[in-house]
Amino acid sequence: MKQKILMSWSSGKDSAWALQQLLQNPNVEVVGLFSTINKDADRVAMHGVRVELLEAQAASIDLPLEIIEIPDPCSNIDYESIMSDFIETAKKKHIECIAFGDLYLEDIRRYREHQLVGTGIEAIFPIWGLDTDNLSRTLIDNGIKAVISCVDSKQLSEDFVGRKYNTNFLQD
């Protein structure tokens, strides 16, 4: 019997590749996506992408999307309460795992795993630990299309926002 999985969907390329890996696994059934939305801005909390784009992504993937609204600002207590309610709903739908597209932030992984302790739902990380240089090339080589929507201006010039994520991007 296949594991029923929900995918935490950030709207970004890493989520797309994690989902791709899950969809190729014959032992799992991805039953939907979920994403947290800044209720006031009507944008994805993680990347600031508009909800319309998020919904278009889900439609093109042909998976149902659950939008979880969070206030702005959102305290950790409020966030955990909102997510706890969501997990309870997922349990009623017999979800066994929640997949995340995280690569290497150990503290985030531990937090996600800790939040699911005792729920009967396991956190899984299909692309955990992949080398980011190799992953970037793999994404591009496999036709994943992305446009840079936000940057850490301490790491990369704001001029990169709006650029296509392709081999030219990697060389800049």
Same domain, 7 and 41: yes
Res 127: pLDDT: 95
DSSP 108: H
Burial (CB count within 10 angstroms: exposed 0-12, middle 13-18, buried 19+), residue 15: buried
**Pair (94, 164) in one structural domain:** no
Of 12-21, 129-138, 158-167, minimum mean pLDDT range: 158-167
pLDDT at residue 172, as a whole number: 57
Identify the residue with better confidence: 55 or 12: 55
Ranges of H-type helices in 46-156: 51-61, 76-92, 106-116, 132-141
What value does the mean pLDDT of the chain take? Answer: 91
Query: Are 114 and 168 contained in the same domain?
Result: no
Burial class (CB in 10 A: 0-12, 13-18, 19+), 6: buried
**Same domain (yes/no): 171, 108:** no
The pLDDT of residue 171 is 67
- Mean pLDDT on 139-143: 87
Q: What is the pLDDT of residue 4?
A: 97
Q: What are the CA-CA distances from residue 117 to residues 13, 111, 121 (Å)? A: 27, 10, 8
**44 and 66 both lie in a single domain:** yes
Rg over alpha carbons for the chain, rounded to the nearest Å, is 16
- Per residue in 20-64, pLDDT (tens digit) is 999 999 999 999 999 999 988 888 777 778 899 889 999 999 999
The pTM of this model reads 0.89
Q: How many C-beta neighbours within 10 Å does residue 133 have?
A: 9
What is the structure's pLDDT at 145? 81
Instruction: Tell whether 91 and 116 lie within a shared domain.
Output: yes
7 forms bridges with which residues in the sheet? 33, 99
Beta bridge partner(s), residue 108: none
pLDDT recorded at residue 11:
87
What is the rounded average pLDDT of the residues 138-163? 85
State residue 85's pLDDT score.
Answer: 96
Q: Can you give the residue range of the structural domain that contains 112? A: 3-130
Q: Phi then psi for 55, rounded to 5 degrees?
A: -65, -35
Task: Based on the fold, state whether residues 15 and 79 are members of the same structural domain.
Answer: yes
pLDDT band at 170, cuts 50/70/90? low
Tally of structural domains, the chain: 2
Q: Could you tell me if 84 and 25 lie in one domain?
A: yes
**CATH number of the domain where residue 51 is located:** 3.40.50.620
Separation between Cα atoms, residue 105 and residue 129, nearest integer Å? 9
Q: How much is the average pLDDT of 90-114?
A: 95
